[in-house]
Amino acid sequence: MKRLSDFLVRLGFPPLEGKLLIVALGLAGGHLLLVAFAAYQLKINVPTCLADDPKTLEPSVKQLDENTYQALYVAKMWQFEPSVLRIPTGASLEVFLTSSDVIHGFFVKGTNANLMAIPGTVGDTKITFDKPGTYPIICHEYCGSGHHNMVGSIEVIDGLEGFETEGLPSDVPDLAAAGGELAPEVAKGFEVATQFGCLACHSTNGTKLVGPSFAGIYHRDITTTSGESIKADEEYLKESILSPNEKIVEGFQPNMMPALPLNEEQVAYLLAYLKTLSSAQN
């Protein structure tokens, strides 16, 4: 230290300036060491680029070994895929995260996991769940009108064998559990509804979210805010989807539902899907 400051004086630095320079270099070096510690020891890294292969965007979960699971999460307006993941108590979860539209957040309440979902990149973290319980996943990056409904969860369950998921594209056939085979256009309709975030605002079990529930929507009697009574036939549903502000359901707000860029075919699939949702469904 002494020798270094003498050296700096000889180089022409005034004594005080030389000392300050040493302190500054020390701080800078210390910070670099901390960054290296975070990156190599704690494995906290900046998101890496997503390869151009679209397959790597597919959400999925797999079990790596007895106690380790790996989940590729895709965040999109306004949901996480998978939306629900159940793993056993004590499991470690490797999380890989990307977004298929805008920037989202990924915060797992009750843990240190806190990532950004950035389109075109993959962020990752590892979480170990020592205590059973439900850990909500929250999007904490404002991402549009359905943002406040963008939640998922990780359920940590004592003694669970393997894992279970909800909300993965491969979970679609589960919808048919009640009524046998799912017609292809209904499955496509569900896919469109998932893809465009309809289900962030519309439940299928009767719960009122931002919008009315889809449960039993086909041929339901509806009153609009202008006092009109309407039977929800195909024509009405189509209009509600394509021009959301045309008629507003009583008890709901205009300008909440976005007019989404859907083509004829997608609307037809949606209608096929909506028709299957009876009000008895839970």
Question: Which residues of this chain interact with ligand HEC, rule CB under 6 A?
Answer: 145-146, 193, 196-198, 200-202, 210-212, 217, 222, 232, 237, 240-241, 244, 248-249, 252-253, 256-258, 260, 270
The 3 state secondary structure assigned to 222-275 is EEECCCCEEECCHHHHHHHHHCCCCCCECCCCCCCCCCCCCCHHHHHHHHHHHH
The binder of 237, among Cu ion, ligand HEC, none, by C-beta within 5 to 8 A per type, is ligand HEC
SS3 20: helix
Residue 143 within binding range of Cu ion, rule CB under 5 A:
yes
145-174 residues near Cu ion, rule: CB under 5 A: 150
Q: Which is nearer to ligand HEC, 122 or 272 (CB)?
A: 272
Q: Which is nearer to ligand HEC, 156 or 241 (CB)?
A: 241
> Please, what is the minimum distance in Å from the beta carbon of residue 138 to Cu ion?
9
Residue 232 within binding range of Cu ion, rule CB under 5 A:
no
Q: Which is nearer to Cu ion, 154 or 186 (CB)?
A: 154
Q: Residue 282 corresponds to which tokens in the numbers above?
A: 């839970």
Tokens 């940590």 identify what position? Answer: 156
Residue 201 within binding range of Cu ion, rule CB under 5 A:
no
Question: Which of 87, 91, 93, 139 is the binder for Cu ion (CB under 5 A)?
Answer: 139
Q: Which is nearer to ligand HEC, 97 or 200 (CB)?
A: 200
- Specify the long-range contacts of residues 237-244, CB closer than 8 Å, at least 24 apart: 237/271, 237/274, 238/267, 238/271, 241/267, 241/270, 242/267
115-134 residues near Cu ion, rule: CB under 5 A: none
Q: Which is nearer to ligand HEC, 123 or 211 (CB)?
A: 211
> What does the DSSP 8-state code read for residue 183?
P
Binding mask 92-111 for Cu ion (x = CB under 5 A): ------------x-------
With vertex at residue 133, the alpha carbon angle to CA 128 and CA 134, rounded to the nearest 5 degrees, is: 95
* Euclidean distance between CA atoms 28 and 20, whole angstroms: 12
Q: Which is nearer to ligand HEC, 121 or 145 (CB)?
A: 145
Is residue 96 a contact partner of residue 112, using CB atoms and an 8 Å limit?
no
> Please, what is the minimum distance in Å from the beta carbon of residue 217 to ligand HEC?
6
> Please, what is the minimum distance in Å from the beta carbon of residue 93 to ligand HEC?
29
- End-to-end CA, the chain: 73
Interface with Cu ion by CB under 5 A: which residues?
Answer: 104, 139, 143, 150
